[in-house]
Amino acid sequence: MKQFDQPHPRPASLTVFTTAGQLRATTGKQCRLMNSSFGEPGRLLCGLLLLLSLWAGCLRAHAAVLDNTFNPGAQGNIFALAVQADGKILIGGDFTSLGGQTRNRLGRLNADGTLDGAFNPGVGGEIFPTVYCLAVQADGKILVGGEFTTLGGQSRSGIGRLNADGTVDTTFNPGVDGDSPSVYSLALQADGKILVGGGFTSLAGLTRNYIGRLNTNGTLDTAFNPNPDWVVFSLAVQTDGKILVGGEFETLGGQARANIGRLNATGSLDTSFNPGATGSIYPAVYSLALQADGKILVGGDFTTLGGQSRNNIGRLNSNGTLDTFNPEAGDFVESLAVQTDGKILVGGAFTTLAGQTRTHLGRVNADGSLDGTFNPTVSGSDFVSVSSLAPKPFTNWNSFRKWNRSVSCCEQEIFTLYVEP
């Protein structure tokens, strides 16, 4: 099984685009131009968030026009974003400045891209303290996951919660521990309980290997303990309350499961669901996305899904059987997002999708055929990957997609993009 390294500080940027692919704003030294289509009527910022990890290079798209009104800037990597109901933008990563002012790994922007001066909790500790995931609760409180030992000046190990004004929620302090005490994924259930996935082996002071569930007050849900044998990268909650789990593991709930499985709401294993994602040197599921019809999109590093050939992307019926959807990506898929029209955005390290050239970002129709109208270009001199796509609202934010596929993570740069309607 693969090990994962800590990220190293590199320049990052925040970029905004329109539906037609026009560049609305960008910062940093590299060129970053793309197009996309996703939106929510009546909102300026939101629609779709893209987190791009790449080595030195640039992103290009056709007919991009720069709008200099949105230019917050960040010094360091950006790994996580969430848009609040009021349009403000939460940003997490390993940066040390945002909007020209000191912000340690966590900050908030106003909808126009200016820095929210009242929000400055800060994250610290560890060699490379980092925020990997963010989620906004229905009550406006903000969940923060990553690898850190302090949040807002108070002791917090890998997970914490902020009030809407950025002050620390002193009632919430579960903490994670282990050889790699990191939180990579957060998902909120309809009842307010909090699913936590990552590299940890302890949660809230009790043994929990790589996945656990918290009550709304931060205490451990002791009845929930599915116990995978390795890292969890992606979590998704179905409308029936069942929980999809993706990662790099061989067992889940005490039974063999190849990198993907499903749990009942109680945490017991759904024994009827066992598609398996295998092949590749280190097979893993990095991304899970749910369609409105209940079908399950799966992205990662695999060559078979449900016992049949599927290269890095596939779709399952709600009962876990394989769907005929088969666009085939030429390299691993790290991110998936379903648009309101049913089209599917795909991001990763691939250079072909559905048999045609698509450099790291593409879109397929609901039947898996390629959307020929969508063809941005994402390029670089070495490793390039679109590592996160997530629709707003962030009630089910899956932020970390095992980005460190490089030989030397010291050279990696993270670029974060917003798509607006």
User: Per-residue pLDDT tens for 78-99?
Assistant: 777 788 889 898 988 888 999 8
Higher pLDDT, 9 or 163: 163
Closest CA to 55 of 333, 348, 335, 411: 411
The per-residue pLDDT for range 188-234, each reduced to its tens digit, is 999 999 999 999 999 999 999 999 999 999 999 999 999 999 999 88
Q: Widest CA span of the chain, in angstroms?
A: 54
The pLDDT of residue 28 is: 28
The mean pLDDT value for 71-80 works out to 75
With cut-offs at 50, 70 and 90, classify the pLDDT of residue 334: confident
What percent of the chain lies above the pLDDT cut of 70? 72
Whether 310 and 322 have beta carbons less than 8 Å apart is answered as yes
- DSSP, collapsed to helix, strand or coil, labels residue 410 as helix
Two structure tokens written together for 332: 């691993």
Out of 22-36, 84-98, 136-150, 347-361, least confident range: 22-36
Angle at 82 between CA 76 and CA 84, to 5 degrees: 130
13-419, superfamily in CATH? YVTN repeat-like/Quinoprotein amine dehydrogenase (2.130.10.10)
Whole-number Å distance between alpha carbons of 233 and 246: 6
The pLDDT of residue 387 is: 55
Cα separations in angstroms, 367 against 116, 344, 354, 410: 42, 10, 11, 39
Whether 381 and 330 have beta carbons less than 8 Å apart is answered as no
The mean pLDDT value for 42-65 works out to 32
312 DSSP 8-state letter: S
Out of 92-96, 109-113, 357-361, 404-408, least confident range: 404-408
On the question of pLDDT at 137 being above 90, the answer is: yes
Whole-number Å distance between alpha carbons of 47 and 39: 4
With cut-offs at 50, 70 and 90, classify the pLDDT of residue 70: low
Residue 374 CB-density burial (10 A; 0-12 exposed, 13-18 middle, 19+ buried): middle
The pLDDT of residue 214 is: 98
Residue 12 bridge partners (DSSP):
74
Residue 189 CB-density burial (10 A; 0-12 exposed, 13-18 middle, 19+ buried): middle
Whether 334 and 355 have beta carbons less than 8 Å apart is answered as no
220 DSSP 8-state letter: B
Whether 217 and 266 have beta carbons less than 8 Å apart is answered as no
329 DSSP 8-state letter: B
Residue 8: how many CB atoms within 10 A of its CB?
16
Please state, rounded to an integer, the average pLDDT across all residues of the chain. 78
DSSP 3-state percent helix, strand, coil across the chain (nearest 5): 0, 40, 60
Higher pLDDT, 384 or 289: 289
The mean pLDDT value for 251-274 works out to 98
- Overall pTM surpassing 0.85 (yes/no): no
- DSSP, collapsed to helix, strand or coil, labels residue 240 as coil
On the question of pLDDT at 379 being above 80, the answer is: no
Q: What is the amino acid identity at position 420?
A: E
The pLDDT of residue 349 is: 86
Closest CA to 174 of 130, 212, 125, 210: 212
The per-residue pLDDT for range 300-315, each reduced to its tens digit, is 999 999 999 999 999 9
Angle at 294 between CA 293 and CA 297, to 5 degrees: 105
* Domain segments of the chain as ranges: 13-419
